[in-house]
Structure 1
């Protein structure tokens, strides 16, 4: 079925008010920004890392730039006048650097059959950024069986499909293939 651009734009314009950011969310963003500004103005990279050292999963940690700039971003002082210049710059920056990526997709449980079945897959890519398109692409796939998808609801006693299982399996598969590829290349590099 085609997407009718004009009709979509018209509908979105008609509903523009529905997409305005509520004031309380704007306030939350301001509070986070103020907290970040406070941390970046009053603490060093080492002090932040020390404060978070007890946390098993602290999230993002400050990089070397943390002590060199203030605020959310580091200015990017490159500019180009053509795509060719961009490509030359990118080759210079990326050449011989290995990049690993994964992206998953899924098919939710199909229950039209006697037994439900689902699918999670993760396509992964390793780009070595060498001249001559030196990259590897493959897919890992997991078929989810009734044993994976069904559970007995303790409140009702009914056996039903777990609506979260396919999404969780997809995420776990994406993380598994990333970890495997990173470990593989950590030994090589």
Structure 2
């Protein structure tokens, strides 16, 4: 049956008030948070904020020394003040990016088969390395992995270790681990090329998503641990080989700065809710390119769980994952950059005080060329995606393979019934 349009319309009308309330935050509250953000650098030093919040295990955020060197949380991008067209953005960005090797990865998946009597799935990671050279030197590749029955099923629990059921969430976990392994492999390859002098400028890895794995908190402990280990290895490889990695989160709703401010100023905000940082900061930024100074992310326990051993060395990132917000139109929202703290402690190439300054400049430029989202990430997404045609082809390959190898693959009765009805 087709979608019940009338029913959907009625349900939307019934929820009009709650939806509007969610989208329209109290403007007075935004104004008060914004005023507090303006006052923070004048009223507190980073050391004083750390001292005030020492009793809070997870105060949302903590300042870096950069706050003491600024009069505002916002680091303005003055180059964009006179821009009136996207062509001006392109001209600025392309000149900056010449010779900068920037790599991005993305992943996709085919969920477990339900048409046959054996559950199989497939995950794929694509990577794209743009050298930003006039010759158009673009390296691209895809790396796939077949997931067998034991990869996509799990037992019902201690009471029944023999019965196994298909768990679709395991495919997402395998995809995450596979993509992380590809990122680590590419970090190692970039480090080798840079050390050998094959790359003129420091390479940058642009990761599509957060480095803080809070999304895994509600999962089963064993699944959560695997997500954390996968991300920890990316971070460890980045620091060990000194290849910067940046997690790019488009349209973030994070609220760490608001939470930090609420804890710092309880007399002003203790009775108020915490609202997204982007709603507050967007009114403090110029139309294009402004960013916040870096802050330490202290969101929750998932940050403290980012630890691993890599190349015989122990790494822990509990207080060393940082973030900044970046404004690149279109849209009024902000994007969020997450990055390891070692980038703030390394000198940048000529013209940049730190490696972080170099990286945020290049990521900003890449987002400019991509009209609000890094172009290299867009390319990786295009290469990685597995659509319905790919899924149908996967099923055909599976059936042909089973027939050629005398594997007793049978159609699921329900799936066969659907297939016959739709012919």
Shift in alpha-carbon separation, 1:132–1:21, aligned structure 2, 3 A:
farther
Alignment of structure 1 residues 72-111 onto 2, 5 Å: 73-77=74-78, 78=80, 79-111=82-114
Matched, 1:68 2:73: no
Alpha-carbon offset, residue 118 of structure 1: 0.9
What is the CA–CA distance in structure 1 between the aligned matches of 2:64 and 2:131, rounded to whole Å? 24
Q: What runs of 5+ residues in structure 1 fail to find an aligned partner?
A: 1-6, 52-58
Go from structure 1 to structure 2 and tell me whether the alpha carbon gap of 1:88 and 1:39 turns closer, same or farther (over 3 Å shift). same
1:113 aligned residue: 116
User: 2:180 aligns to what?
Assistant: 175
Report what 1:3 is aligned to.
Answer: none
Quote the residue 2:20 is aligned against: 20
Give the aligned partner of residue 143 of structure 1. Answer: 146
Aligned partner (choices 193, 199, 218) of residue 188 of structure 1: 193
- Counterpart CA distance in 2 for 1:16 and 1:144 is 43
Structure 1 residues 178, 17: CA separation in 2 closer, same or farther (over 3 Å shift)? farther
Q: Verify the 8 A CA contact 2:123 2:147 in the aligned structure 1.
A: yes
Matched position secondary structure for 1:110: coil
CA 1:93–1:145 in 2, change beyond 3 Å: closer, same or farther?
same
Q: In 2, distance between residues paired with 1:128 and 1:62? A: 34
- Equivalent position SS for 1:153: strand
Residues 14-44 of structure 1 deviation map (CA, whole Å, 9 limit, x = unaligned): 5654533549x98xx97xx69x959766344
Contact 2:46 2:64 survives alignment (8 Å): no
User: Cα–Cα, structure 1 residues 13 and 115, in superposed 2: closer, same or farther, change >3 Å?
Assistant: closer
Q: 2:134 aligns with which of 131, 134, 138?
A: 131
Contact 2:108/2:125 (8 A) holds in 1: yes
- 5+ residue gaps, structure 2: 54-59, 195-423
CA distance in structure 1 between the aligned counterparts of 2:132 and 2:16, rounded to whole angstroms = 43
CA distance in 2, matches of 1:43, 1:169: 44
C-alpha distance in structure 2 between counterparts of 1:129 and 1:122, whole Å: 22
8 Å CA contact retained: 1:95, 1:129: yes
Kept in 2: contact 1:65–1:74 (CA 8 A)? no
Name the count of aligned residue pairs: 166
Higher RCO (CA-CA < 8 Å; seq separation 6+)? 2
Is 1:162 the equivalent of 2:164? no
How far does residue 156 in structure 1 lie from its aligned partner after superposition?
5.6
Q: Is contact 2:107–2:179 with CA below 8 Å preserved after alignment?
A: yes
Q: CA RMSD in A?
A: 3.9
Contact 1:106–1:166 under 8 Å retained in 2: yes
SS in 2 for 1:112: coil
The corresponding residue for 1:55 is: none
